[in-house]
Amino acid sequence: MASSLIVPQTLVNTGLLATYEVANVDGNYFVNDGKRILHVKNAGAVTCTVTVDAVALDNFGFAGHDLVFTVLAGAELIAGYFSKRRFNDTEGEINITTSVQTSVTLAVLKAVYTI
């Protein structure tokens, strides 16, 4: 099975009833413009580790460090924004993996600013 696309959903000032994708055993990905927010829900009974793959080299030519965070059982986590230079692959996408998939769901949000 291949990784699954998460389509960013637009968050407007009147709100958003977000839909969530199930965490895929082969990973998930989304198109990143540097203004995306990742929302992870862990409805399971065990802690989940989420890894956002870094692709850019640092100032010394070493591979960049992945962003790794923990979502406790029954908890939610919101992360972002994600640097395009650090995280975007050649397709402009960010790749995410989760240590568990059962009861873990993901949404990617993008804000639209209105004045």
Cα gap 92→115, rounded to integer Å:
29
Q: Report pLDDT digits (tens) over 53-82.
A: 998 766 666 667 899 999 999 999 999 999
Q: Which residues of the chain have pLDDT under 70?
A: 1, 57-63, 113-115
pTM above 0.75, yes or no: yes
Domains and CATH numbers, the chain: 4-111 (2.60.120)
